[in-house]
Amino acid sequence: MTVSTEQIEFDPIQVEVWRHLFASVAEEMGSVLERTAHSPNIKERRDHSCAIFDRDGKLISQAAHIPVHLGAMPLMMQNLRSSITWKPGTMWICNDPQHGGTHLPDFTLVQAVFLPDTPREIIGFVANRAHHADIGGLSPGSLPLSTELFHEGLIIPPLPIVKGGKVDPHIVALICANSRTPDERRGDLLAQISSNKIGTTRLTELALKYGLETVYYRIAEANRYARLRIKSTLQRIDGCFEYDDVMESDGVGGIDIPLKVRLDLSDGRARFDFTGTSAQVRGSINCTEAVTRSACYYAIRCLVGEDIPMNDGTFADIEVITPPNSLVNSGLNAAVAAGNVETSQRIVDVVFGALSKAYPGRIPAASQGTMNNLLIGGYDPYRRQQFAYYETIAGGSGASAELFGATAVQVHMTNTRNTPIEVIEMHYPLRVRSYHIRRESGGIGVHNGGDGIVRELELLSDCHVTVISERRALQPYGLDGGESGKPGVNETTVDGAIIERPAKFTKTLKSGSIVTIKTPGGGGFGRATQESV
């Protein structure tokens, strides 16, 4: 069922009504996933995304969960749409980067939706992606300092985890057997399955209530509206703009790894070309193409400023060129665990840097530029089981021409919450000794950058600790004369001795040791004068 978008005459009221109808399906899927998940990472931090797609696998709506999934879920959907024989009551699972995955802990579950009286005609798809706190690999948490994909955990090609409406216990058992925390994996998988089931029900209800022809007309209307809104923003500027930065390290010896973008704006289209970026590296900071696309889509979405539908039309006029076997488009079996969480943030930094030249005064200074990944695992002597704690830690956001940067927030490619202190101490052999704002870590300017935070954890058992972070040597940049934010600091305290650690490290620490993460502040905007300080 195809609708010619050129013949659509917008009904503003219907655009808005249907935008929220479609979004409500994805949002309810997210609520179900969050409420029924087992692990704190999904239940408390909301490290997940949900979306619905049309019969061709094109995005209808995506809930505002995790920005790094913006381009990644549609890319996987495109890959799976043509490679799978879809049947009613069957749900597929995949995390493979070669099929549009981001990194291995992100499990994606996809189900085709059929009307009851037409079991051979697909009317759409529902999908969700959730970050599982441990799926095997070299170290607890499955974000190791790896040099190949096989170090990072269980690789799952597209497999039917639900057949004929029944969960396949063999696939669930296989996944659980490869995790240090099998009960969490089982609970989180069942939550993802429940999420897709409610999405299937709601999408079916829409089609039955309004008719499939009406639904597809409204999809086409929303796509065209979103595309025109993006075009109207991009049409204001024509020209070529470049920006470059570096990744500080890949965790296994590589340093100052270049990342470069050329932005071409012409006739309402944006073309991001990453030619000149580093070739693929040994460490795990390589990105899949899906992650790179997500960062570019996110930046343009922010540029629009207003609330518009999130669908296939939103990014129709955005082209992303990524050289094969490079830092931003990794090759077969490349280590990618940290690319999704760290390199994605730096891609946003360079894309915003280029946009700041195209749209002076509209783009904020650099935010903290890292997710400050902290992973702690081992044997919990109190609960007599293995555990794996994972968290990304907030920092400062960059200031803009109009506002001070926000303090102690997740920025850009992640939109997760923090794990409450009570939840950490209830689930893990950890004690939170300190959790507070890192005062004066934001860059000075007419508007100051936001401050980072300090998270200090005491280990109550022998643990393996991994930290994957950036902006420990190079500061988040300021704009228009604003000062840079302060870089972050990683420390461990063992037997009273404080040791500063590099941006990426992995270490076995004994009980009583302390891990301290001081996150970067955001860059300032505008040159401060004596009167403005």
* 3 state SS of 337: coil
Residue 271 lies in a domain: no
Give the domain-ending residue among 170, 205, 227. Answer: 227
What is the pLDDT at residue 68? 83
Give the domain-ending residue among 207, 227, 247. Answer: 227
d(CA 488, CA 485): 9
- Amino acid 307 reads D
Residue that the structure tokens 């959790």 belong to: 435
d(CA 70, CA 62): 8
Mean pLDDT of all residues belonging to the chain: 94
- Report whether 407 contacts 424 (CB < 8 A): no
Q: Please enumerate in sequence order all residues whose Cβ is within 8 A of that of 222, keeping only pairs 6 or more positions apart, or say none.
A: 15, 18, 19, 22, 60, 309, 311, 313
pLDDT digits (tens, 9 = 90+) for 485-513: 999 999 999 999 999 999 999 999 999 99
What is the pLDDT at residue 70? 72
Instruction: Quote the strand ranges of 328-429, DSSP E.
Output: 373-380, 385-392
pLDDT digits (tens, 9 = 90+) for 258-306: 999 999 999 999 999 999 999 999 999 999 999 999 999 999 999 987 7
Residue 92 lies in a domain: yes
Residue 162 lies in a domain: yes
Instruction: Quote the strand ranges of 282-372, DSSP E.
Output: 318-321
384 burial type by CB count under 10 A (0-12 exposed, 13-18 middle, 19+ buried): exposed
For residue 315, pLDDT beyond 80: yes
* 3 state SS of 215: helix
Residue 532 confidence class, pLDDT cut points 50, 70, 90: low
- Report whether 28 contacts 202 (CB < 8 A): yes
d(CA 103, CA 319): 23
For residue 85, pLDDT beyond 70: yes
Residue 243 lies in a domain: no
What is the pLDDT at residue 2? 56
What's the pTM? 0.94
The arithmetic mean of pLDDT across residues 13-28, rounded, is 93
The arithmetic mean of pLDDT across residues 408-423, rounded, is 93
289-304 and 212-234 are packed helices; what angle lies between their axes, rounded to 10 degrees? 80
The string of DSSP letters for 500-522 reads EE-SEEEEEE-TT-EEEEEPPPP
d(CA 251, CA 23): 39
- Amino acid 440 reads E
Give the domain-ending residue among 227, 253, 280. Answer: 227
If one counts every other C-beta atom within 10 angstroms of the C-beta of residue 82, the result is 8
Token representation of residue 471 = 């902006």
pLDDT digits (tens, 9 = 90+) for 42-74: 999 989 999 999 999 999 999 866 888 777 889
What is the pLDDT at residue 445? 97
d(CA 367, CA 475): 10
Q: What stretch of H or E contains 17? A: helix 12-36
- Report whether 397 contacts 405 (CB < 8 A): yes
Residue 244 lies in a domain: no
What percentage of the chain reaches a pLDDT higher than 70? 97
pLDDT digits (tens, 9 = 90+) for 103-124: 999 999 999 999 988 878 999 9
Distance of CA 497 to CAs 377, 462, 513, 514, Å?
Answer: 22, 17, 10, 10
What is the pLDDT at residue 333? 94
What is the pLDDT at residue 61? 94
240-261 core/surface letters (b: 16 or more CB in 10 A; e: else): ebebebbbbbbbeeeeebebbb
- Report whether 230 contacts 302 (CB < 8 A): no
Domain coverage including residue 74: 5-227
Domain count, the chain: 2
Q: Residue 413: which of 348, 469, 488 has the closest Cα?
A: 348
Residue 314 lies in a domain: no
d(CA 59, CA 168): 28
Residue 306 lies in a domain: no
Check residues 321 and 5 and name the one with the higher pLDDT. 321
Residue 139 lies in a domain: yes
- Report whether 488 contacts 517 (CB < 8 A): yes
Q: Are residues 370 and 519 in the same domain?
A: yes
